[in-house]
Structure 1
Amino acid sequence: MATLYERFVLPRLLRCACSAPGIMKQRAKVVPLAEGRVLELGIGMGLNLELYDAARVESVTGVDPAAELRAIAEAAPRDPRLSVKVEDGTAEALPFEAGTFDCVVCTFTLCSVHTPAAALSEARRVLKTGGRFLYCEHGLAPDADVAKWQRRIEPVWKRMAGGCHLTRPVTAAIAAAGFTVRSSDSMYIPRAPRFAGWSEWGEAAP
């Protein structure tokens, strides 16, 4: 059962952090590229919904284990033409048949799932042959001094930020899960603290 902090404080904290202008600019680099039947891993508060191109997307199915966040996502702004379904579920055990989706979108989610390798394996499983995995995440910085602070801060950060990890690799983990990375880029998000601001984004094929 969710604690009072998880029910009332954490959603407000996440909304403030995850909808910051720099974060939304990162989301906008990948979400509009989605097309066909789309699965969004960890839909959270539905911050990506306003970024989908309704002319290219047949439907968006979002999964998230947090009831408090799913309720916010249900009411999140989006193009009225966009067909959206928000479901209870975890990225590590998706309730869908293999080859169901044309595209899987994963933004600022791999940092907080329990087992990233399992989540990525499930994403590959539910993608159609020729499907696309679009990602934008934050994670382990390439600079030793930043990574050192990430390791120091992470134990407290995880408790405050809903299980968010600072030291998980991003693109390397996606490749290790069997995806073929077609394009990738990276940067420190402007005005974000460097320990939480290293971002990698791109597209991969199952």
Structure 2
Amino acid sequence: MASWYERTLLPKFLACACSGPQMMLQRARLVPRASGRVLELGVGMGLNLAFYDPSRVTSVIGVDPAPELRAMAVAAPRPEGLAVEVLPGRAEDLPFEASSFDSVVCTFTLCSVHSPERTLAEARRVLKPGGRLFYCEHGLAPDPGVARWQRRIEPVWKRLAGGCRLTRPVLPLLEGAGFSTREAESAYLPKVPRFAGWNVRGEAQA
């Protein structure tokens, strides 16, 4: 059962942390590229929904384990005509048939799932042949000094931020799951603390 903090304060904390101008800019650059039948892993508060292009997308199904966040996603703004369904579910164990989605969208989600390896394996499983994974994640910084601070801060940060890890190596995880990362773009987000600001964004095909 979720604690009082997880039910009441955590959604407010995540709303502030995940909807900053730089993070919303990354979403705006990535999400409109999705097409066809789309699965969004960790739909959370529905912050991506406003950026889908209804002329490219037939439907969006978002999954998230947290009922408080799903309720926010249901009420989140989205373009007129965009078909959206928000379902309970964990990214590591998706209740969908293999090869059933044209696109999978994963933004700021791999940091908080219990198993990023299992999550990415599931993303590959449900993608149709030729389907695309659109990802935007923060993770382990390449600079040793920043990485040291990430490891120091992570135990406290993880408790405050709903299990969010600062030190997951995004590109190695994607490559280990069999995804191509040739189109990856990575940089520190401006005006974001460096311990949480190393960002990797791209489009991958299994």
TM range (shorter): over 0.9
What do residues 111-152 of structure 1 show as CA deviations (whole Å, max 9, x unaligned)? 000000000000000000000000000000000000000000
Question: Are residue 178 (structure 1) and residue 152 (structure 2) matched?
Answer: no
Displacement of 1:181 in angstroms is: 2.4
Query: 1:87: how far off?
Result: 0.4
Q: How far apart, CA to CA, are the structure 2 residues paired with 1:199 and 1:180? A: 17
Give matches, 1:23-102, under 5 Å. Answer: 23-102=23-102
- Residue identity opposite 1:198 in structure 2: W
Q: Deviation per CA, 1:59-79, whole angstroms, max 9, x where unpaired?
A: 000000000000000000001
Instruction: Flag as ranges the 4+ runs of structure 1 deviating above 4 A.
Output: none
Cα-Cα RMSD: 0.6
CA contact (8 A) 1:188 1:198 kept: yes
Secondary structure of 1:162's counterpart equals: coil
Q: How many residues align?
A: 206
Cα distance in 2 for residues equivalent to 1:187 and 1:181: 15
Task: List runs of 5+ in structure 2 lacking aligned partners.
Answer: none
Name the structure 1 match of 2:117.
Answer: 117
Q: What does the per-residue CA deviation read over 1:68-114, in whole Å, with 9 as the maximum and x for residues that have no partner? A: 00000000000121000000000000000000000000000000000
CA distance in 2, matches of 1:80, 1:91: 27
* Cross-structure match for 2:13: 13
How far, CA to CA, are the matches of 1:80 and 1:94 in structure 2? 27
Alignment-derived partner of residue 202 in structure 2 = 202
- Deviation of the 1:180 alpha carbon: 2.1
Unpaired runs of at least 5, structure 1 = none
For residues 95 and 103 of structure 1, the distance between their equivalents in structure 2, rounded to whole angstroms, comes to 16
- Structure 1 CA distance, aligned partners of 2:68 and 2:32? 26
TM-score between the two structures when normalised by the length of structure 2: 0.99
